[in-house]
Amino acid sequence: MSEAYLSRGVSPTKDDVKKAVRNQGKGLFPGAFCKIIEDIAGDERYCMAMHADGAGTKSIVAYLYFKETGNYDYYKGIAQDSLVMNTDDLACIGAVNGFLVSNTIGRNAHRIDAMALSKIIEGYDETINTLAKYGIKVEMTGGETADVGDIVETVIVDSTVTVRFERSSVIDCSNIRPGNVIVGLASFGKAVYEDKYNSGIGSNGLTAARHLLLSGYYAEKYPECYSHTIEKSRVYCGPYRLEDKLPESSLTVGEALLSPTRTYLPVIARVLNKYREGIMGIIHCTGGGQVKCKNFGSNLHYIKDNLFEIPAIFRAIERAGNIKREEMYQVFNMGHRMEIYCDREVADGIIKAAGEFAIDAKIIGRVESCPEETNRVTIVADGKTYVY
């Protein structure tokens, strides 16, 4: 278990949440990455999924940047975070087009004004327009802005995304099998549809990242930007301010933390169009980081022994917090946020397709059988082996 997360009031594995929902139905394809339900129109050729997620505590970084600079534009990126955390989860079940979005913004109206809300909505529109250029239709259907200052100190930006698609298109992770290779799609760099270099942080682990990187200056000046249930020694205990240069990077610390969550939809859509028969599963390495895959398939040993070089943002978090590497892999994506489980014969084509969007990709591991009843993940990196 991740101490860096737990000590700040966050569960890295969400075992308690899983326990709470264990009696819920698993849907039409119990092994799929997202729950899939019957088609609302009753057409047996189709199915649906409805997914909810958000930008999480990343919105606090946008708030801090705004307070320090007066620039409202920092709020725009968290709309992309909120949207992509949904659409790219849905891509893992084979849904890559025709998304309907409803957004929910919970704010403290004393701190988040109309201009901030306008910038968040503008961020949604910009992301949707970018995806449209690649033939991916996403439509905003409205939403809710709730003034809940008694329970929200700043702002939380969530989305619910619905999609209807053919059952024949479903990707079911229960089909992942020994012999598959794992193609990882990099979380860092500058894709052709991104305006600037992306640190790779995504929208996971931001509670730990904020407190481990940013200095106590922010806790003192903006006490509304953290939970007062956290032990004081764990609050904003890092060495940096937002405008400080991130070591080994061209980005500032603030820019790295606010890098919008990269969408892989254009890549996944192209890959599924060309190589659908050779793809057994797709996993979005969000909550749970590189150990997320452990939740899918049966009697599988996931071996990851050819990972990307760890991006600068994660190296900085590791150094600042003196966190064990084993723990880092449980919380952060550490360099790739999307995994495609496929036959070896189609791996090179998938890698080439990602490269056409200027996204690095490579075979980062393989799947073997596991004699134990539960799945296992083994990560081999920098001469060390970590087993989960």
Per-residue confidence (pLDDT) for residue 9, from 0 to 100: 58
Which pLDDT score is estimated for 310? 98
- Asked whether the predicted pLDDT for residue 133 surpasses 70, the reply is yes
**DSSP assignment string, 217-249:** HHHHH-GGGS-TTS-GGGSS-SSB-TTSBPTTS
Are 336 and 184 a contacting pair, CB within 8 Å? Answer: yes
Measure the CA–CA gap between 52 and 102, rounded to whole angstroms: 9
Please say if the pLDDT value at position 233 is more than 80: yes
Give the containing element (helix H, strand E) for 301.
strand 300-304
- 285 and 339 Cβ atoms separated by less than 8 Å: yes
According to DSSP, the residues that pair with 158 across neighbouring strands are 54, 104
* Domain 3-387 fold: Phosphoribosyl-aminoimidazole Synthetase; Chain A, domain 2 (3.90.650)
- Return the axis-axis angle of helices 114-132 and 76-91, rounded to nearest 10°: 40
Residue 7's pLDDT is what?
67
pLDDT, mean over the chain: 95
CA nearest neighbour of 217 among 209, 227, 225, 205: 225
- Determine the 3-state secondary structure of 380 from DSSP: strand
Report the share of the chain in percent with pLDDT over 90: 91
pLDDT at 96 over 80: yes
How much is the average pLDDT of 77-95?
Answer: 98
Whether the pLDDT of residue 130 is over 90: the answer is yes
Where are the domains positioned within the chain?
A: 3-387
Q: Tell me the residue ranges of DSSP E strands in 55-180.
A: 99-107, 138-147, 155-166
The model's pTM: 0.94
Taking only the tens place, the pLDDT of each residue in 18-77 is: 677 777 888 999 999 999 999 999 999 999 999 999 999 999 999 999 999 999 999 999
Task: Convert the pLDDT of each residue in 261-284 to its tens digit.
Answer: 999 999 999 999 999 999 999 999
Q: From start to end of 31-137, where are the E strands? A: 37-38, 46-54, 99-107
CB 205 within 8 A of CB 337: no
